[in-house]
């Protein structure tokens, strides 16, 4: 529980990020994904799985050989979002130098963000049920699609027997999970937390529903230029998929095992617009409160922040609301990037992927560019990094995640000493 003072939440201790794993349309694995993010080129392309729909393109994880990576039997019973979660968790644990066969599993927590769960294989099941053949339903249909399985399968694979759950807060799910993971460490509930998010949003029903809501870009003639955060001609987001997992530890525990932190998770703030079931609060007031809460939690001022990894979906309303929120918090917002322009919108996985990107940004002192920003919307007064990466001396950055239902989560990171 956060302590509350007259000025908001009191500062709490940061925790160390000692490992991370990434599965994105820009590549599988942290180094490949980072290289793709630095390139700043959209991965959107025509999607055969969406053929015939009003919007039939997406950003897809390339070259996924699930059977080769996980074994045929395990890959067969997992849906795509859980495969992503498992691969990211394995990489994160290895990256942190941890050995699951030697750890105290009861002290290892797993918290993942999943926005929707999965309906990847449900069409065939509905067809069988509609044909009055319930006895032919797959016994795997239910367990493979439940949102909690992203965390449960990680625990099964790695022997993590501590607290285990999934957070569902739409597009803020992954960031919320990471914030909760820090809470578990600071409360003493766990010694290590695997925290992140995973989703595959490029499913036929998902794509059809978002198209009906007019939330998706309609640039079918040029998918690679469709996602255009903060651009004058933006017209919606592009569906994506992927996962990220961060290994979180108390700083003293990381030092005790001689693990070098890659960055520090210094603050977490959350809020709700309570404004509309899908549209953001136009003035960005609640998102601004989440940013201020994250900064207060971290003991930072707006002047301390060198970079913002924006939610940046490329919807006209969403980008404008985030712009307004940034101007409430910062006298002059620091340089901004929006990586959904490159890898699309992974919904529940997006906040975790962007948190991992923020860690890498601080680690490499390099801001990846926003793709497709040809003409900045003249109503948006922002310094958006575009076209090429920008080297910059940075000590602190925030990552924004703003979801349907008005659910906002903001993470504040600092460089590791």
Q: Please report where in the chains the tokens 């065939």 appear, as a residue.
A: 124
Our CA angle for 348, 146, 122, nearest 5°, is 100
Do you know the residue count of the chain?
417
Neighbouring residues of 6: CB distance < 8 A, sequence distance ≥ 6: none
What is the DSSP-derived secondary structure letter of residue 286? H
Annotated catalytic residue within 59, 190, 345, 357: 345
In angstroms, what CA-CA distances link 262 with 89, 307, 324? 16, 17, 31
Neighbouring residues of 315: CB distance < 8 A, sequence distance ≥ 6: 215, 234, 236, 237
Adjacent-strand bridge partners of 391: 366
Annotated catalytic residue within 59, 190, 307, 311: 311
How far apart are alpha carbons 169 and 201 in whole angstroms? 15
The alpha carbon of residue 208 and the mean position of all alpha carbons in its chain are separated, in whole angstroms, by 22
How far apart are alpha carbons 244 and 170 in whole angstroms? 16
How far apart are alpha carbons 200 and 69 in whole angstroms? 18
The yes-or-no answer on residue 311 being catalytic is: yes
How do strand 15-24 and strand 8-9 relate by DSSP bridges?
unpaired
Residue 188 in tokens: 């003493």
Per-residue burial over 11-41, b = 16 or more CB atoms within 10 Å of its CB, e = otherwise: bbebbbbbbbbbbbbbbbbbebbbebbbbbe
Annotated catalytic residue within 171, 190, 323, 357: 171
The alpha carbon of residue 83 and the mean position of all alpha carbons in its chain are separated, in whole angstroms, by 16
How far apart are alpha carbons 75 and 331 in whole angstroms? 50
Neighbouring residues of 102: CB distance < 8 A, sequence distance ≥ 6: none
In angstroms, what CA-CA distances link 322 with 207, 259, 318, 372? 24, 36, 6, 18
Sign, CA dihedral 142-145-146-151, equals: positive
Q: Please report where in the chains the tokens 């108390």 appear, as a residue.
A: 250
Catalytic residues: 171, 311, 345
């Amino acid at each position: 529980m956060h302590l509350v003072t007259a000025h908001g939440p009191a500062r709490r201790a940061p925790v160390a990020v000692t490992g991370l794993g990434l599965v994105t349309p820009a590549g599988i694995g942290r180094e490949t994904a980072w290289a793709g993010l630095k390139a700043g080129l959209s991965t959107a392309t025509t999607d055969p799985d969406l053929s015939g729909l009003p919007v039939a393109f997406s950003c897809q994880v390339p070259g996924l050989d699930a059977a080769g990576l996980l074994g045929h039997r395990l890959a067969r019973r997992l849906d795509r979002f859980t495969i992503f979660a498992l691969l990211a968790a394995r990489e994160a644990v290895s990256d942190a130098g941890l050995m699951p066969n030697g750890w105290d599993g009861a002290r290892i927590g797993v918290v993942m963000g999943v926005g929707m769960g999965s309906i990847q294989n449900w069409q065939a099941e509905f067809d069988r049920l509609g044909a009055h053949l319930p006895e032919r339903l797959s016994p795997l249909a239910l367990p493979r699609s439940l949102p909690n399985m992203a965390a449960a399968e990680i625990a099964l694979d790695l022997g993590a027997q501590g607290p285990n759950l999934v957070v569902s807060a739409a597009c803020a799910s992954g960031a919320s999970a990471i914030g909760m993971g820090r809470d578990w460490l600071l409360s003493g509930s766990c010694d290590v937390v695997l925290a992140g998010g995973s989703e595959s949003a490029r499913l036929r029903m998902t794509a059809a529903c978002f198209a009906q809501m007019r939330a998706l870009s309609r640039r079918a003639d040029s998918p690679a230029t469709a996602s255009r955060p903060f651009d004058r001609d933006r017209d919606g987001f592009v569906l994506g998929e992927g996962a990220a997992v961060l290994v979180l530890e108390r700083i003293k525990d990381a030092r005790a095992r001689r693990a070098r932190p890659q960055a520090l998770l210094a603050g977490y703030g959350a809020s709700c617009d309570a404004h509309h079931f899908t549209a953001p609060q136009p003035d960005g007031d609640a998102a601004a409160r989440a940013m201020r809460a994250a900064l207060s939690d971290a003991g930072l001022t707006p002047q301390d922040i060198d970079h913002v990894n924006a939610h940046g979906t490329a919807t006209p309303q969403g980008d404008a609301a985030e712009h307004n929120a940034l101007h409430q918090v910062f006298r002059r917002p620091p340089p901004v990037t929006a990586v959904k322009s490159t890898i699309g919108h992974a919904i529940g996985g997006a906040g975790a992927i962007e948190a991992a990107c923020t860690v890498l940004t601080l680690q490499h002192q390099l801001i990846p560019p926003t793709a497709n920003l040809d003409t900045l919307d003249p109503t948006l007064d922002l310094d958006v990094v575009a076209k090429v990466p920008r080297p910059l001396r940075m000590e602190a950055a925030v990552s924004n995640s703003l979801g349907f239902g008005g659910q906002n989560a903001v993470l504040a990171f600092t460089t590791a000493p």
